[in-house]
């Protein structure tokens, strides 16, 4: 199949000037109009799918190299999930692109209106290191589906993946319109000085502020996918089978996905006092069952984060609260699944997002207190709750605020294309996945059409009271009153 590209793209040395000219090329590509057509968008998405299929082994390899992810985890969380999203986009692209016809009130007759989605232009996607393939390509799918040109800056903290993307993407996609620019904070800073039509950022709140401040200079709209401390509420579940399943799901979300370095991973557990010992035993059991072989667990991304987590554990009071695990391996950058029982709430382990395999369990007098506990803290990306109590569920939804709420499972929101994925408050703003990705990178432009056929003289000055009254009737959609007034059969009234 012929690729719709204009030229061959290879390795290029990227200085500041090189960077600007790359971005300028993307803008030229967009201005030429080629990214707007259905055929181009479809071809790019299909090419992305081919990339995911043909380069699957390479991807699994770099994810192992950067993060120690097992093949299956890497496929499940990144490669497979992205392929599913591309399929979904291809299936729905025509529908998403179609104008949405609207019904309009009678008074606007003869007006016909619709909402026409159009691309924003040239967008910047900055992704994070923990799901370096997924968090780069998911937004890219949305950008392409919506008809934009895009520049992707993958995280330098996952260098093998960044290198892979810089190499593979230009080979499969239209390298004039879709660019991958590698680099660290300096390159990011340079990119942020330029004018974009949208910036999509996944990462920490600290950098999120920097991104938004830079975007403000150009009035560039942004989406910030940040993090937070995602709690899992553990209510008592009657059946022991349900308990085991629930604990399995928590363990999977804590340690089975990038060793806890996930924005939607379980950060800490909330359980009532009496149930805590049972929970700990169940967790220990599941850890043994799933994670005996550390080959099946990811690694801490780098020395800096490894040290950060070790420091957390070194605090005397925190160390004292460890009830399972705690051993670390500096050479491997590995920390084993660790459970803590009621560490002090004012220490970093409970004030900052952990982003690692340490699982604090906080006990409460009664499980309903978990709502107050969560409300007192910044809004997280997700709240997990394991409960059958419908009243409790309703209270959780109504009395807390978070990006989303998941009952009786974990992580599944990531692969569900029909719900919006994104944060609120400190966990960010803007949503994506599925059609939400398409909308995120679109301008939904209302288009109204009128004919010359029907014309109302009372729209125009010179003004008089009769015209005012006619307009009152029109605005209230009071057609009878309007007609009577028009015919002079109704008196002017100052009642609104």
Partner 1 sequence: METLVNDLRRSFQTGKTMPYEWRVAQMEGILRLMNEREKEIMEALWTDLAKPRTEAYLHEISLSKAGCKFALKELKNWMKPEKVPSLIATFSSTAQIVPEPLGVVLVISAWNYPFALTIDPLIGAVAAGNAMVLKPSEVAPSTSAFFAKFLPQYVDTSCIQVVEGGVTETTELLEQKWDKIFYTGSGRVGRIVMAAAAKHLTPVALELGGKCPVVFDSDVNLKVAVKRMAIGKWGCNNGQACIAPDYIITTKSFAPKLVDALKETLKEFYGENPLESADLSRIVSSNHFRRLTDFLDEENIPEKIVHGGGRDEKHLKIAPTVLLDVPHDSLIMKDEIFGPLLPIITVEKLEDSFDLINSRPKPLAAYLFSKNKRLEEKFVQKVSAGGILINDVALHVANPHLPFGGVGESGTGAYHGKFSFDAFSHKKAVLSRGYATEMRIRARYPPYTHHKQIILRRVIDGSFIALFLGLFGLHRD
Residues 71-130 that bind partner 1 (CB under 8 A): 71-73, 75-76, 80-81, 83-84, 87, 102-105, 108, 111, 113, 115-116, 118, 120-121
475 binds partner 1 (CB under 8 A): yes
* Count of chain residues binding partner 1 (CB under 8 A): 107
Query: Least separation, in Å, of the C-beta of 20 and partner 1?
Result: 20
Answer whether 406's CB lies under 8 Å from 383's CB.
Answer: yes
**From the candidates 175, 230, 263, 404, which is the catalytic residue?**
263
Burial (CB count <10 Å: 0-12, 13-18, 19+), residue 457: exposed
To the query of whether residue 230 is one of the catalytic residues in this protein, the response is no
Tracing tokens 């009664």 back to the chain, one arrives at: 366
Q: At closest approach, how far in Å is the CB of 11 from partner 1?
A: 33
Q: Is residue 181 at the binding interface for partner 1, with CB under 8 A as the rule?
A: no
Restricting to residues 433-462, name those near partner 1 by CB under 8 A. 443-452, 455, 459-462
Our CB check for partner 1 shows the closer of 18 and 110 to be 110
List b or e across 281-320, with b for residues whose CB sees 16 or more CB atoms inside 10 angstroms.
ebbbebbeebbeebeebbbbbbeebbebbeebbeeeebee
Residue of 9, 225, 230, 404 with catalytic role = 225
What is the DSSP-derived secondary structure letter of residue 434?
A: T
> Minimum CB separation from partner 1 for residue 404, in Å?
4
| x/- letters, 256..295, toward partner 1 (CB under 8 A) | x---------------------------------xxxx--
**Per-residue contact track with partner 1, 385 to 424, x per CB under 8 A?**
--------x---xxx-xxxxxxxxx--xx-xxxxxxx--x
Considering only 98, 109, 209, 314, the residue that binds partner 1 (CB under 8 A) is: 209
Site string for partner 1, 183-202 (x = CB under 8 A): --------------x-----
Taking CA atoms, 318 is separated from 231, 351, 356, 370, in Å, by 19, 13, 15, 21
Q: Please, which of residues 311-340 interact with partner 1 by CB under 8 A? A: none
* CB within 8 Å of 379: residues ≥ 6 apart: 228, 401, 402, 403, 423, 424, 425, 426, 427
Q: Smallest gap, in angstroms, from Cβ of residue 15 to partner 1? A: 29
Contacts of 200 (CB under 8 A, 6+ apart): 123, 124, 125, 126, 139, 143, 222, 223, 225, 430, 432, 440, 441
Task: Return d(Cα 275, Cα 236) in angstroms, integer.
Answer: 7
Q: Which stretch binds partner 1 (CB under 8 A): 29-37, 166-174, 314-322, 345-353?
A: 29-37
List the end-to-end C-alpha distance of the chain, in Å, as a whole number: 67
Q: How far is the CB of 63 from partner 1 (least distance, A)?
A: 14
Catalytic site residue 348?
no
Q: Give whichever of 343 and 430 is closer to partner 1, judged by the CB atom.
A: 430
Answer whether the bond into residue 289 is a cis peptide, omega within 30°.
no
Q: Which one of residues 49, 323, 471, 484 is an interface residue with partner 1 (CB under 8 A)?
A: 471
What 8-state DSSP symbol labels residue 258?
Answer: G
Active site residues: 225, 263
């Amino acid at each position: 199949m012929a690729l719709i590209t204009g030229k061959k793209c290879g390795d290029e040395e990227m200085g500041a000037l090189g960077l600007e000219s790359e971005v300028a090329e993307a803008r030229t590509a967009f201005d030429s109009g080629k990214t707007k057509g259905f055929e181009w968008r479809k071809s790019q998405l299909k090419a992305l799918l081919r990339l995911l299929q043909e380069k699957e082994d390479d991807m699994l390899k770099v994810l192992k190299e950067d993060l120690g992810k097992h093949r299956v985890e890497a496929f499940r969380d990144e490669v497979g999930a992205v392929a599913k999203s591309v399929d979904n986009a291809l299936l729905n692209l025509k529908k998403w692109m179609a104008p949405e016809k609207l019904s309009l009130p009678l008074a606007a007759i003869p007006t016909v209106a619709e909402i026409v989605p159009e691309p924003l232009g040239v967008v910047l996607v900055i992704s994070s290191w923990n799901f370096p393939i997924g968090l780069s390509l998911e937004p890219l799918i949305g950008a392409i589906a919506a008809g934009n040109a895009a520049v992707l800056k993958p995280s330098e903290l996952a260098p093998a993946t960044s290198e892979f993307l810089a190499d593979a993407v230009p080979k499969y996609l239209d390298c004039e319109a879709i660019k991958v620019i590698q680099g660290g904070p300096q390159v990011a800073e340079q990119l942020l000085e330029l004018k974009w039509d949208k910036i999509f950022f996944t990462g920490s709140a600290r950098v999120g502020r920097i991104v938004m401040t830079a975007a403000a200079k150009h009035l560039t709209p942004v989406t910030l996918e940040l993090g937070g401390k995602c709690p899992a509420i553990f209510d008592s579940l009657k059946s022991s089978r349900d308990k085991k399943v629930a604990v399995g799901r928590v363990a999977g979300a804590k340690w089975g996905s990038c060793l806890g370095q996930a924005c939607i991973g379980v950060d800490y557990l909330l359980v009532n006092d009496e149930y805590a010992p049972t929970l700990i035993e169940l967790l220990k059991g599941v850890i043994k069952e799933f994670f005996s072989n550390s080959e099946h667990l990811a690694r801490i991304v780098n020395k800096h984060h490894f040290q950060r987590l070790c420091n957390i554990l070194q605090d005397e009071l925190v160390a004292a609260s460890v009830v399972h695990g705690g051993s670390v391996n500096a050479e491997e950058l590995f920390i084993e699944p660790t459970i803590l029982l009621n560490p002090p709430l004012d220490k970093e382990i409970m004030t900052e997002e952990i982003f690692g395999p340490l699982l604090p369990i906080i006990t409460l007098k009664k499980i309903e207190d978990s709502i107050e506990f969560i409300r007192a803290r910044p809004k997280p990306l997700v709240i997990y709750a394991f409960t059958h109590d419908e009243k409790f569920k309703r209270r959780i939804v109504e009395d807390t605020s978070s990006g989303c709420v998941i009952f009786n499972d974990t992580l599944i929101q990531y692969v569900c294309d029909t719900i919006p994925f994104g944060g609120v408050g400190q966990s960010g703003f803007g949503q994506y996945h599925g059609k939400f990705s398409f909308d995120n990178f679109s301008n939904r432009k209302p288009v109204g059409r009128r004919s010359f056929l029907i014309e109302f003289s009372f729209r125009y000055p010179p003004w008089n009271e009769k015209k005012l009254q006619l307009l009152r009737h029109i605005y209230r959609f009071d057609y009878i009153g309007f007609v009577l007034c028009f015919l002079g059969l109704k008196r002017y009234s100052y009642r609104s």
